[in-house]
Structure 1
Amino acid sequence: MGKQMTEMLKGTLEGIILALLAVRPAYGYEITARLREEGFSDIAEGTVYALLVRVEQRGLVDVDKVPSEKGPPRKVYSLNAAGRAQLDEFWKTWSFLASRITQLHEHVEQQGERA
C-alpha cells in the first residue's frame, strides 16, 4: 500500500471499523480478518487493537469478555448508541467528501479535455 493510501486510510479507519461492528459484534482478530475480507489487506492487527482501545475509551462501543477456548477471555466489541451516532456522522461526512472529490475530479477532467 502506498503512502498516500496509508494516510487516507488513517483518517477513515475508525469509521470503517464502526461500520463492521454495526453489522455484528466482534473481537479484535475477527475485525482484522473482516477488514482483510473487505480488501483492506495491509492493515496491521496492532493498528486495529489501538483503534479499538480509542473507541472504547471514547464510549463508542460496549465490551463483553467472552471465554476463549485458548488463553484469556476475548473482548467482544459491539456498537452502542454513541457509536451508531458517530457512524452516522462518519457516513454523512464521507458522502459529502466523496461527492465533492468526484465533482472536482470531473471538473478537472473536463478542463483537461478543453486544453
Structure 2
Amino acid sequence: MTDTDQITTDVKQELNQMVKEANETLPAHEKMRLETAYFDTNVNIELTTEVAYHSQYQKDMQLTIDETELPHHASEQYHFAEAVDMLNTYAQKMDTLFHQQYSFIHKV
C-alpha cells in the first residue's frame, strides 16, 4: 500500500533488501545486484489502484479504478529490474487515468 508516486521507490527498496539478505549467504563470486537478480519461482503480481475521496459534506469513499494481475512463470527469469520498470510504468498510467477520468481537480 503506497501512493503511485512512491511505489517504485518502496518496491525497489524492498527488492534491494532481498538481494542484500541473499548476498549474506553467497560467496563473493556469486553476489547478486538488483539489475541481475531475478525471480526463480512462479510470481503473480497483483496490483490494485484505489482512490480515497474525503469531503467535509460527504461520507468518505474509496473507489477502485484498476485491478491488474501479472503472472510470470519461473522459466521466464523475470528480473527484479523489470518488475521495478513495470511498476513505474503502471504508476504513471494510473496517475494519468485518475487525472483524466476520476478527478474533478485537474493538473494544469
- Whose relative contact order is higher, 1 or 2, with alpha carbons under 8 Å and at least 6 apart? 2
Q: Return the TM-score normalized by structure 2.
A: 0.33
Richer in strand (by share): 2
Richer in helix (by share): 1
